Amino acid sequence: MLKISIIENRNERRLVLEGRLIAPWSAEFKKACDTARVDLDGRELVIELKSLTAINQQGENALIALINEGAKFRCCGVFAKHMLRHLARRARNQFQETER
């Protein structure tokens, strides 16, 4: 199960993820992100990996796409921090490969 909460304020629209970012919820997360990008009115889109407990390849790909699009991230917990570092490295490597 994946819980997606949306928190809005003047400076940002935050999507808080709790649970498992695996199929079929990774597709729901992508839809939520697409919806959240609409009418940001200069605010940042922030993805908060609050209590992420599991992630599969689809979930990783969704997060990498957001990294490449410039979304900001916040995370709590050892697993989420480790996963975000890993995904940032993968995104950077993919970018470098396309530059060649």
How far is it, in rounded angstroms, from Cα 31 to Cα 80? Answer: 21
Domain harbouring 65, CATH code: 3.30.750.24
Q: Can you give the length of the chain in residues?
A: 100
Which amino acid would we find at residue 98? T
Percent of the chain with pLDDT over 70: 99
The domain total for the chain is: 1
pLDDT digits (tens, 9 = 90+) for 26-68: 999 999 999 999 989 899 999 999 888 889 999 999 999 999 8
Residue 19 structural domain: 2-99
- 33 and 45 in contact (C-beta within 8 Å)? yes
C-alpha to C-alpha distance for 33 and 93, rounded to whole angstroms: 23
| Assigned token pair, 51 | 């209590």
What's the pLDDT score for residue 35? 93
